[in-house]
Amino acid sequence: MAQHHKLGILGLGRMGKCLADGLSKQPSFRSSPILFSNRSATSGAKSNVELVQSCDVIVMAVKPQNVFEVLKEIGPHLGKGKTLISIVASISTSEIENGVAKGTAVIRAMPNTPALVGEGITALCSGKSSSQAQLKVAKEIFEAVGKVVLVDENQMDAVTGLSGCGPAYLYVILESLTDAGIKVGLPREVATQLASQTVLGAARMLQVTQRHPAALKDEVTTPAGCTIDGLLELEEGKLRVTLIKAVVQATKRAKALAKKANVEGAK
């Protein structure tokens, strides 16, 4: 990130900490320490207002139900020259803009926890007052911990359902594949290594070759071989429809949380 920017993270829970840890491993963020604030007295933490006053780029990483109390507190201390990046699920840029001083650049981001190991993916969208330069700064922050895609704001709940929640779905798949390895006689450590590298390798194949997953699957599936027997079991177990329904339900939940937070914020 450009030297002259001072970055603060407001809310040091799972995701805030994950970002702070991920960014602190990156050389470009080491020169200027990242400041943070939290509700509980975490050592080294600033107050929310001190954080906003000391930083020009603030990542807000609190739960949706805490957003409006936080905005009441920090809103008047923001304004032109400040960029507020919200990673909060379900709260729109216009709702955030309504709670902060005029001119504040508001950007929404939906990262995921593999950011901790530099393999996250973050979707970004801009609010109405953010410039291309401010969006670029947001891009740099999240590119330091993985990949970045730009989306329309109306796609953010879908992103939440797919990549925001996605690591959890894949951990279930990884746990199951590992258990499967144990069932067929492999030691746990070996099964874990085989399962995790297979998932990683398949994902990389998709990214590097840019071929359709069905074509890549067909290449593994030889006539009357073993893979087709495994695939038949997956079809019978409705793996595809189950994964699709998981993303659909999580997306619906993200939309419902938005409505709930709106009602509570308006109180």
Ligand X SMILES: NC(=O)c1ccc[n+]([C@@H]2O[C@H](COP(=O)([O-])OP(=O)(O)OC[C@H]3O[C@@H](n4cnc5c(N)ncnc54)[C@H](OP(=O)(O)O)[C@@H]3O)[C@@H](O)[C@H]2O)c1
Applying CB under 6 A, among 1, 34, 35, 87 the residue interacting with ligand X is 87
Distance from chain centroid for Cα 220: 31
CB 258 within 8 A of CB 91: yes
- Site membership for ligand X, residue 19 (CB under 6 A): no
CB 19 within 8 A of CB 9: yes
In the chain, the amino acid numbered 221 is T
Site for ligand X in 151-190 (CB under 6 A): 164
What is the contact mask toward ligand X in residues 63 to 82, using x (rule: CB under 6 A)?
xx-x--xx------------
CB 127 within 8 A of CB 96: yes
The minimum distance between CB 96 and ligand X, in angstroms, equals 12
- Site membership for ligand X, residue 13 (CB under 6 A): yes
The minimum distance between CB 205 and ligand X, in angstroms, equals 25
Q: Within 13 Å of residue 238, how many CA atoms lie on the same side as its CB? A: 5
Question: In the numeric block, which tokens belong to residue 1?
Answer: 């990130």
- Whose tokens are 């006539």? That residue is 223
Over the range 65-99, which residues count as b (16 or more CB within 10 Å of their CB) and which as e?
eebbebbeebbebbeeebbbbbbbbbbbbebbbeb
Applying CB under 6 A, among 1, 48, 114, 144 the residue interacting with ligand X is 48
Residue number, 235 or 264, with CB nearest to ligand X: 264
Closest CA to 219 of 239, 233, 205: 205
Distance from chain centroid for Cα 67: 17
Applying CB under 6 A, among 19, 23, 52, 110 the residue interacting with ligand X is 110
The minimum distance between CB 59 and ligand X, in angstroms, equals 10
- Position closest to ligand X via CB: 13
Residue number, 100 or 191, with CB nearest to ligand X: 100
Applying CB under 6 A, among 8, 11, 22, 265 the residue interacting with ligand X is 11
What is the contact mask toward ligand X in residues 205 to 244, using x (rule: CB under 6 A)?
----------------------------------------
Applying CB under 6 A, among 6, 39, 77, 255 the residue interacting with ligand X is 39
Rg (CA), the chain: 21
- Site membership for ligand X, residue 16 (CB under 6 A): yes
- Whose tokens are 């005029």? That residue is 102
119 Cβ contact partners less than 8 Å away, ≥ 6 residues apart: 146
**Using CB under 6 A as the criterion, which residues of the chain lie in contact with ligand X when the complex forms?**
10-16, 37-40, 48, 61-64, 66, 69-70, 87-89, 110-113, 164
